[in-house]
A and B are shown apart, each in its own frame.
Chain A
């Protein structure tokens, strides 16, 4: 299983970014290899469409599960279309959240907020 988590810093001790589409980094964790990598979120600086782009990039990474605090409806649609499970993050480090995914103690994230729209 491959897990993605929006990260404030490139470290397993980092807190989870409150934002999905504009998170600075994503932690990608491969449970079989027990390996974590951190990727830059190319969508972070976008005025609009950040959620869609970030979701597309995670689909390309072939992740199975996303752990996040909140999610916009556009991103949610892309992720659910790609059958990616979205779990509700708890206010702990990335490493602790990964442990909670593995012990099945995170709830599913069901509520989404309206996606941000560029008012340019």
Chain B
């Protein structure tokens, strides 16, 4: 069963939920797809088993062949190319490696070479495998890193820690997920972002449920949204300064508190049951 944890908004508790779920599961794999700032490993503290580079293709130009026609400059969707007399400039950080320029060049002056855009670290923590993707600073997209990271998904149980937002990276992250656990905080902004990721899961036909985090007395816009949109609330975590403090010290709540251990064991069971039910539908 492959469970993606996502939220739209950053800072709602994706990683808190993901690492604690993975730790109580004590099997399968944890996949940190937040490649711009992966931090799940700080909590799980895995032993390092291996590291590999992720490469992307980049165009390079042979100026002896380039005649300055600017077909590539005009065609580039991302505007990663510029031509000034005598020189074709290629901006690697803007390039999305689509290959269009190389394909179109009438002089065959462009060819693609490999370029390192990030790394993947694979490690272990008891019976749990821990996979972390990390993008090089300044790169335009981490999609190839997530693609490679998720090649090792464990069909038995995988907890996939998503990047924030609802853009390309999140889309890539949940593509292979059987179920999406949406973590939402009790603010208007939180509810708006919950709506965005909920819409994404519907577009991608992924079953989803919500975990209300940092719940306090009073109105909870995320709870209202879930109820109005027939989105199942799997559990609620009350706001707890103890949990915040332990997490800020990179401690796993399930190792520090019996109450949280019980909570996450129950949540894991609930999520797997929901995912199993959804798969049967």
Interface residues of chain A, those whose CB is within 8 Å of chain B, are 43, 46, 48-50, 52-53, 55-56, 59, 74, 77-78, 81-82, 115, 117-120
List, in ascending order, chain A residues with CB within 8 A of B85's CB.
Answer: 82
Q: Which 9 A-B pairs have the closest CB atoms?
A: A49-B79, A82-B84, A53-B79, A78-B82, A81-B84, A56-B82, A52-B79, A49-B94, A49-B78
Interface flags for B137-178 (1: CB within 8 Å of A; 0: not) read 010110000000000000000000000000110000000000
List, in ascending order, chain A residues with CB within 8 A of B87's CB.
Answer: 81
Total cross-chain contacts (CB, 8 A): 56
Given contacts A56-B83, A120-B167, contact A77 B89 (CB under 8 A): yes
A74 (CB) vs chain B CBs: closest residue: B91
Q: Most A CB atoms within 10 A — which of B87, B140, B167?
A: B140
- Could you say which of B80, B82, B94, B140 contacts A55, with CB atoms under 8 Å apart? B82
Q: Contact: B167 with A81, CB < 8 Å? A: no
Q: How many residues of B contact A (CB 8 A)?
A: 20
Q: Apart from A52-B82, A117-B94, A119-B167, what 11 extra A-B contacts exist at CB < 8 Å? A: A43-B79, A48-B140, A49-B78, A49-B79, A55-B82, A56-B79, A59-B82, A74-B91, A117-B93, A117-B138, A118-B94
Q: Contact: B89 with A78, CB < 8 Å? A: yes
Q: Contact: A48 with B89, CB < 8 Å? A: no
Instruction: Report the minimal beta-carbon distance from B159 to chain A, rounded to whole angstroms.
Output: 25
Q: Contact: B79 with A46, CB < 8 Å? A: yes
- Could you say which of B82, B84, B140 contacts A118, with CB atoms under 8 Å apart? B140
Q: Contact: A74 with B94, CB < 8 Å? A: yes
Instruction: Report the minimal beta-carbon distance from A4 to chain B, rounded to whole angstroms.
Output: 15
Check B272 for interface membership: any CB of A closer than 8 A. Answer: no
Q: Contact: B94 with A120, CB < 8 Å? A: no
Q: Contact: B84 with A59, CB < 8 Å? A: yes
Instruction: Report the minimal beta-carbon distance from A81 to chain B, rounded to whole angstroms.
Output: 5
Check B73 for interface membership: any CB of A closer than 8 A. Answer: yes
Q: Contact: A50 with B79, CB < 8 Å? A: yes
Q: Most A CB atoms within 10 A — which of B73, B79, B80, B81?
A: B79
B138 (CB) vs chain A CBs: closest residue: A117
A50 (CB) vs chain B CBs: closest residue: B79
List, in ascending order, chain B residues with CB within 8 A of A53's CB.
Answer: 79
List, in ascending order, chain B residues with CB within 8 A of A50's CB.
Answer: 79
CA distance A52 to B73 in the complex (A): 10
